[in-house]
Structure 1
Amino acid sequence: MDPRTSAQDVLRCDLCKTAVVQMHCDTCLVNLCTACVGKHMMSDESKDHKVVKFQSRKSTPLYPGCKSHSPDQCKMYCNKCGIPVCTKCLVSDQHLGHKLSEIVQIVEEKKDKITKELTELNETIYPTYHDIAFDVQNRMSQLEKEFGELSTAITKHGKDWHREIDKLVKELKAEIDEMKNTQLQTLQKHLDEINKTMSDIKEEIKSVEMAIETHDLSKLFRVASNVNRYKNLPQKLASTLSKFIPEKIQGEKLSKMFGTLSFSSLTSDQHGYSMKTTQKLPKAGSSPSVKQLLDEPETVTTIDTEYECLYEVACLNDKEIWTRGSGCMMKLYSINQGSLLKSITTKSGNMPSDIAVTNSGDLVYTDYWDRTVNIVKNEKIEEIRLQNWLPRSVCSTSSDDLLVIMYSDVYKQTKVVRYSGSTEKQSIQFDDKGKPLFSSGTYYRYITENRNLDICVSDEGAKAVVVVNQAGKLRFRYTGHTPTPKNKPFTPGGITTDSQSHILTADMNNGCVHIIDQDEQFLRYINCGLFRPWGLCTDTNDNLFVAQCRNKQVMKIKYIC
């Protein structure tokens, strides 16, 4: 029977099966009603039954049984021998003069030790292995790319060889045709001369025969034979046939002529990885966060910008922030002085759709209309050009990949694509049931990566923050918290995270920022008189920067201690 739909939602006695549980035997781990307590204790008199109220269950320590004096329990611990001992062990000569401790004390010390080890496993060792696995996966992807490029280069070189061989064969065959035609023409001319001489000889024979047969002696005397002339036979033309002498195909020689592969291998470097010293991937149930939220967030400073409308902000470091607003220019401001330090214009002249900063400090911006993701390195702009998709928002990950939100041409589909350099590594679009993870249409959507490597997308169309894990599997959808400061529907805008894996989302309509933890739990609002908050970012000290659209100011807020 389902306890969610039935009144039978209380625990029943393990003995009578009918009465409500009121007691618990910590020795046998049995639930009992008061009426069955005596019966249970009489069922096995060899045991020391510890019956307590149900609410106090598991409060009685279960001492280990003595291996030498069963069924006695060991409540002491011999420090020299390193074993639990019972009272009979103590009166024997075996542990005479040995230092003893209460076993409860030893267990507490053991708990403290393994608790520290558990904390180290959760906060240091596991995150280190997680990053190592991610590094190996990246290397595997890179190897796939590099060996694919190598194979492509060899295939291209092979085609070049085929093309050159085909060209050489064609040239040799043309040379053969030319030699053949030249010799045939010479032989034909020689044949024509012989045929002409043969025709002359026939005429000569006919003339002589007629002279012999005639009775006109005068004609006979006029016949002059040219036999001697014809005895000089024509020259014989000797033909020397051309020969093709192929070069013997030698595999080793041919391989060297074609090209060689340098040796490739994987080597083990025992010093290649180092253990983390700070918490990277906090887990549920691990030690509490080092930093706590302030009771009242504090406005540290405001920075005036010169945009008509201000949309995004991205921290370059703890002293400088990049901003973008209406127009084609992205501006770098000093946080402390509030002064403009630098301006960069988009390559196309279009207004950028979003900005981010990589781990190495390079500015990244998306150009929606130009279909490009652009990386500014040393004042030069490198672009990733897209086909059939329009880039909207971008963030840089802990592994220095880029996560880009894209729309299809007709705005019917939305997806998140992970890039390593200009290579697409991952595409996230559907859940396990084949349904879209994100809304469609021209709504605003922003993206960030959490410290636990979750991918967090603020989806204005869905009025939700959609959180998927590193593999793209849906973890949860946060749809807001009530009541809101202005009692308006949740309208998520810019999104960012902090060192505690908190997820912070601008709520444009309610003029506030929502803070939730990595498991969707609402923590609090930040409402410091924000005026149409849009873009968000945090620095390394967990200060929050809010780009306010209407008053064109970036507000720096301290919300965590």
Structure 2
Amino acid sequence: MEIPPIATSMKSCSEGIKQDERLESDKKQTLSLSASVTKVREFNVPGVDDVYHVSLDQPDRLWISDSKDNLIQTDLQGNMIQKIETSGGHGYHTVTQGRDLIFTDKDKKVINRIAQDNNITEFIKTGDWKPLSIHSSHINGDLLVGMIKDGEAKVTRYNKTGKELQNIQRDNKGQELYCAPHYITENSNGDICTSDINKEAVVVVNKSGQHRFSYTGQEFRFGPYGICTDVLGHILVCDELSNTVQRLDQDCQFWSFLLNPQKQGVMFPCSFCVDDENNLYVGQRYNNTLTVYKYLQ
């Protein structure tokens, strides 16, 4: 694949705020952006062919899945702790506030739960909808699930017990918001941020489901994959087409290429998560390498 050049100019959204307002806001934060990104560690993940999705389990453990139905738990040295067979590809997953693992089974149209005693149960049946992405809210413990059915797509909110609370599918003009919501996260302000590869966009709605903005990259085709947010409310998204990780603020203002092939040598970034120490865990397609970076001080 030919790697597109890194753009030097910026696209901003209509809801973007001014640079001086952003800087003033961040002065109030206890953390700040560091001058450079530092690699902390790197290791190969056993039992997977690539790193399609990664979730933080405990301070020293991760759940990682690949494109071939493998889902494994590993420590930070790359030692496998346990392995689970899934179906439907990718095995997207999330860890709840109670440290249970929740993962989707697209083929069977169910969402499974693995409790601390390693007992696997069917938690939610999604009917005719195939569950793709899933995220457990750090705000209230709700589950946010991206799903598809016969050319339609939506994001559904469930509570901790699996009761359906909300469906988000169209904007206030009746237009479809999603095509393939295959990565999803929640920001500190309650915004639901979805990475949609078919729309080539990051789609952000508020907690009521009202469309706030869609981000479509920086002057070339956008290939959004993994998405997460940090303690400052920034939205981080992998762009596989440019081999970059891009950082936005919560009002859709582009800030920077956090990772790029010229500086960090990153290739085909696909998934990531952020831990409590503000380390960024980045997985890649086509190999099983997981790299950890520090970018907040």
TM-score of the two chains, using structure 2 as the length reference: 0.84
Within 5 Å, give how 1:195-274 maps onto structure 2: none
- By how many angstroms is 1:290 displaced? 2.3
- Secondary structure of the residue aligned to 2:266 is coil
Match of 2:118 among 379, 383, 403: 379
The answer as to 2:40 corresponding to 1:308 is no
The answer as to 2:70 corresponding to 1:329 is yes
Within 5 Å, give how 1:99-110 maps onto structure 2: none
Of residues 395-404 and 293-302 in structure 1, the stretch that sits farther from structure 2 once superposed is 293-302
- By how many angstroms is 1:386 displaced? 1.6
> 1 CA distance for matches of 2:63 and 2:26?
35
- By how many angstroms is 1:429 displaced? 0.5
**Cα displacement string for residues 351-409 of structure 1 (whole angstroms, at most 9, x for unaligned residues):** 4531111111111110110101111112112221121111011000021111000101x
> 2 CA distance for matches of 1:474 and 1:489?
22
> 2 CA distance for matches of 1:403 and 1:444?
11
Counterpart residue number, 2:183: 446
- By how many angstroms is 1:497 displaced? 0.6
Can you give the 5+ residue segments of structure 2 that lack an aligned partner in the other structure? 1-21
- Secondary structure of the residue aligned to 1:310 is coil
Match of 2:61 among 304, 314, 320: 320
- By how many angstroms is 1:463 displaced? 1.2
- By how many angstroms is 1:434 displaced? 1.3
- By how many angstroms is 1:547 displaced? 1.0
Match of 1:363 among 89, 98, 101: 101
Check whether the contact 1:531–1:550 (CA below 8 A) recurs between aligned residues: no
| Matching residue's letter, 1:318 | P
> 1 CA distance for matches of 2:28 and 2:266?
30
> 2 CA distance for matches of 1:285 and 1:497?
17
Match of 2:284 among 548, 551, 561: 548
- What's the % identity of the aligned pairs? 35
Within 5 Å, give how 1:2-13 maps onto structure 2: none
**Cα displacement string for residues 60-83 of structure 1 (whole angstroms, at most 9, x for unaligned residues):** xxxxxxxxxxxxxxxxxxxxxxxx
Match of 2:232 among 484, 495, 500: 500
Counterpart residue number, 1:463: 200
Counterpart residue number, 1:418: 157
Distance 1:444 1:553, change over 3 A: farther
**Cα displacement string for residues 92-131 of structure 1 (whole angstroms, at most 9, x for unaligned residues):** xxxxxxxxxxxxxxxxxxxxxxxxxxxxxxxxxxxxxxxx
TM-score of the two chains, using structure 1 as the length reference: 0.46
- Secondary structure of the residue aligned to 1:467 is strand
| Matching residue's letter, 2:190 | L
- By how many angstroms is 1:329 displaced? 3.0
- By how many angstroms is 1:289 displaced? 2.7
The answer as to 2:74 corresponding to 1:338 is no
Counterpart residue number, 2:211: 474
Distance 1:469 1:515, change over 3 A: same
| Matching residue's letter, 1:548 | Q
Check whether the contact 2:146–2:181 (CA below 8 A) recurs between aligned residues: no
**Cα displacement string for residues 299-345 of structure 1 (whole angstroms, at most 9, x for unaligned residues):** 1111202322321111112211110013333111111x221122223
- By how many angstroms is 1:350 displaced? 5.0
Give the helix-richer structure, 1 or 2. Answer: 1
> 2 CA distance for matches of 1:285 and 1:300?
28
Distance 1:297 1:309, change over 3 A: same
Match of 1:407 among 148, 153, 172: 148
Distance 1:489 1:286, change over 3 A: closer
Distance 1:539 1:406, change over 3 A: same
Of residues 365-374 and 301-310 in structure 1, the stretch that sits farther from structure 2 once superposed is 301-310
- Secondary structure of the residue aligned to 1:551 is coil
- Secondary structure of the residue aligned to 1:316 is strand
Counterpart residue number, 1:557: 293
Distance 1:326 1:478, change over 3 A: closer
Counterpart residue number, 1:510: 242
- By how many angstroms is 1:492 displaced? 0.5
> 2 CA distance for matches of 1:502 and 1:380?
36
Check whether the contact 2:186–2:229 (CA below 8 A) recurs between aligned residues: yes
The answer as to 2:175 corresponding to 1:435 is yes
> 2 CA distance for matches of 1:554 and 1:454?
28
- CA RMSD in angstroms, aligned pairs only: 1.9
> 2 CA distance for matches of 1:350 and 1:380?
21
Distance 1:299 1:286, change over 3 A: closer
| Matching residue's letter, 2:273 | C
| Matching residue's letter, 1:492 | P
Higher relative contact order (CA 8 A, sep 6+): 2
Counterpart residue number, 2:266: 530
- By how many angstroms is 1:521 displaced? 1.2
Match of 1:353 among 84, 88, 91: 91
- By how many angstroms is 1:471 displaced? 0.3
> Which structure would you say has the larger Rg?
1
> 2 CA distance for matches of 1:326 and 1:432?
35
> 1 CA distance for matches of 2:64 and 2:162?
24
- Secondary structure of the residue aligned to 2:267 is coil
Check whether the contact 2:243–2:267 (CA below 8 A) recurs between aligned residues: yes
Counterpart residue number, 1:393: 133
Check whether the contact 1:317–1:539 (CA below 8 A) recurs between aligned residues: no
> 1 CA distance for matches of 2:248 and 2:31?
15
Distance 1:480 1:326, change over 3 A: closer
Check whether the contact 2:71–2:91 (CA below 8 A) recurs between aligned residues: no
> 1 CA distance for matches of 2:252 and 2:67?
33
Give the strand-richer structure, 1 or 2. Answer: 2
